[in-house]
C-alpha cells in the first residue's frame, strides 16, 4: 500500500525527507575560522608582569601584560624547541621562555637567546592584533583586523563598566548563539518581547562585518524598551537600550575555548552621569538580571541544538539574511603552524 506524504521532496514516493538549506561552515571546518575579535580573558585576570596561557581556535596562545601596562596575545610555543611560554616570565615588555631563556618582544620577534647566540633568522611568534577595551582583552583571528570593536553612543571615559563571566561553556560555535539576535520567532516566543511596529528585517542593516537593527516594544516584565541590537563579526552581541527612559549598554563577547564551544561574558555599561554610585549600581544590577535571564532562557536550547538551517517561514526573513551573512563571512587561520 502506498503511503502518502504530507509535503517535502518525498511526496511522490511517500518517503519523508528533511528540508535542508545551505549549511553554515562550522568553526575549524576545512582548517579555517571566522576572522573576528575573540575575547580571551578579562582585564582583571592580567596584572602587570603576569602571563596567562589559554586555548584559542584549535591551539594555544599566551596573553601577557608588560611592565608598561600594554597587553599582547602571542602564539604559546617557543620556536626553539616548543616550550610553553605560559610558564615563562615577563622581562620589561618582553616574554621569556622558561626552557632556554629566549626572549620575545610584543611584536613576537626574538630579541635574544639564553646562551647569547644570535637569534636565528625567522625565529618569531605569531602576533595576534590585541585590544584591551570594556574590561576585556580581545584577540583577532588574522594578521590585520577587518573591523573595529563596536562603540557605545557615549565616550568610554563617560561610562561605568561591569564585567562578569557565565559559569557554563555551551557546546556550540559562537555564531550559533549570534543567530538568536535576528531570530524574530525566538525573540517573541522564548523571550516574550512584543514589537511595537514593523519587523527587524525592515530596518536591518548588514555590512561585510556587522548586522544591526532597531526596535521599540514591551519587555515581558512590563517596561517599555527601545533597543538597537546587532552582531559584530561572529562573536560579539551589541545592545544599546533604554528601559523606561534609562540608558544602559550591553556587549556579550563570545569566547571560543575550542571549536564547537562558546564561553559567554557580560559587559554592561551605564553613564557616570546616571545619578550617584548607588543609582548606577541599581541600574547595572537590573540590567545584569535582564541579560542573565535571557541567557537562562536560551541555555537548555544551546545545550542540545544541532543547528542546521531548514524549513524557514516568513517570520525568518531577518534570520535568513543573517545566515547568508555568515556563509559569506571571511575565514582564515594564519596562526595554524604557530599555535599547535
Q: What's 207's domain CATH number? A: 3.90.380.10
Mean pLDDT for 270-279 is: 95
% the chain with pLDDT above 90:
86
- Given a cut of 60, is residue 294 above it in pLDDT? yes
Last residue of a domain, one of 116, 140, 164: 140
pLDDT at 5: 38
pLDDT at 8: 47
Dump pLDDT digits (tens) for 188-243. 899 988 887 667 778 899 999 999 999 888 878 767 788 999 999 999 999 999 98
Dump pLDDT digits (tens) for 169-180. 999 999 999 999
DSSP letter string, 166-227 = EEEEESS-HHHHHTTTT-HHHHHHTT--EESSS-HHHH-EE-SSEEEEEEEEE-TTS-EEEE
8 A C-beta contact, residue 237 and residue 212? no
> How high is the mean pLDDT of the chain?
94
| Pair 225, 258 in one domain | yes
| Pair 90, 210 in one domain | no
Number of domains in the chain: 2
pLDDT at 13: 63
Angle (nearest 5°) at CA 154 between 151 and 159: 100
Domain assignment present for residue 99? The answer is yes
Domain assignment present for residue 89? The answer is yes
pLDDT at 195: 81
pLDDT at 202: 80
In whole angstroms, give the CA distance from residue 142 to residue 330.
10
Cell numbers representing residue 317 in the block: 526573513
| Pair 96, 134 in one domain | yes
| Pair 190, 302 in one domain | yes
| Pair 180, 80 in one domain | no
| Pair 72, 131 in one domain | yes
- Given a cut of 50, is residue 158 above it in pLDDT? yes
- Given a cut of 60, is residue 10 above it in pLDDT? no
| Pair 169, 99 in one domain | no
- Tell me the residue range of the domain where 287 lies: 156-331
pLDDT at 65: 99
pLDDT at 225: 84
pLDDT at 250: 98
SS3 category, 50: coil
| Pair 283, 166 in one domain | yes
| Pair 118, 163 in one domain | no
pTM for this prediction: 0.93
Task: Mark residue 328 as left, alpha or beta (left: phi above 0; alpha: psi -120 to 50; beta: remaining).
Answer: alpha
Last residue of a domain, one of 91, 107, 140: 140
| Pair 175, 113 in one domain | no
Amino acid at each position: 500500500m502506498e503511503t502518502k506524504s504530507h509535503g517535502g521532496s518525498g511526496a511522490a514516493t511517500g518517503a519523508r525527507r528533511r528540508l535542508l538549506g545551505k549549511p553554515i561552515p562550522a568553526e575549524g571546518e576545512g582548517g579555517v575560522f571566522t576572522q573576528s575579535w575573540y575575547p580571551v580573558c578579562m582585564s582583571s585576570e592580567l596584572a602587570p608582569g603576569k602571563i596567562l596561557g589559554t586555548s584559542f581556535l584549535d591551539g594555544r596562545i599566551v596573553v601577557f601584560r608588560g611592565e608598561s601596562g600594554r597587553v599582547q596575545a602571542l602564539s604559546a610555543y617557543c620556536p626553539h624547541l616548543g616550550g610553553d611560554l605560559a610558564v615563562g616570565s615577563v622581562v620589561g615588555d618582553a616574554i621569556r621562555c622558561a626552557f632556554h631563556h629566549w626572549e620575545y618582544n610584543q611584536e613576537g620577534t626574538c630579541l635574544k637567546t639564553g646562551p647569547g647566540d644570535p637569534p636565528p633568522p625567522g625565529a618569531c611568534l605569531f602576533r595576534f592584533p590585541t585590544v584591551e577595551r570594556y574590561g576585556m582583552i580581545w584577540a583577532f583571528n588574522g594578521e590585520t583586523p577587518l573591523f573595529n570593536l563596536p562603540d557605545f553612543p557615549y565616550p568610554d571615559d563617560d561610562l561605568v563598566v561591569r564585567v562578569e563571566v557565565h559559569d557554563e561553556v555551551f557546546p556550540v560555535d559562537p555564531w550559533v548563539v549570534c543567530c538568536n539576535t535576528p531570530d524574530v520567532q525566538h525573540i517573541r516566543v522564548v523571550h516574550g518581547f512584543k514589537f511595537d511596529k514593523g519587523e527587524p528585517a525592515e530596518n536591518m542593516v548588514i555590512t561585510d562585518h556587522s548586522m544591526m537593527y532597531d526596535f521599540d516594544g514591551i519587555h515581558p516584565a512590563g517596561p517599555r524598551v527601545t533597543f538597537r541590537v546587532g552582531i559584530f563579526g561572529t562573536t560579539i552581541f551589541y545592545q544599546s537600550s533604554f528601559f523606561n527612559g534609562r540608558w544602559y549598554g550591553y556587549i556579550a563577547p563570545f569566547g571560543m575555548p575550542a571549536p564547537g564551544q562558546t564561553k559567554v561574558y557580560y559587559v554592561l555599561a551605564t553613564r557616570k552621569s546616571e545619578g550617584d554610585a548607588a543609582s548606577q549600581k541599581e541600574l547595572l544590577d537590573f540590567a545584569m538580571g535582564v541579560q542573565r535571564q535571557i541567557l537562562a532562557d536560551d541555555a537548555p536550547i544551546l545545550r542540545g541544538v544541532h543547528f542546521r538551517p531548514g524549513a524557514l517561514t516568513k517570520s525568518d526573513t531577518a534570520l535568513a539574511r543573517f545566515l547568508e551573512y555568515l556563509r559569506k563571512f571571511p575565514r582564515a587561520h594564519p596562526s595554524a603552524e604557530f599555535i599547535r
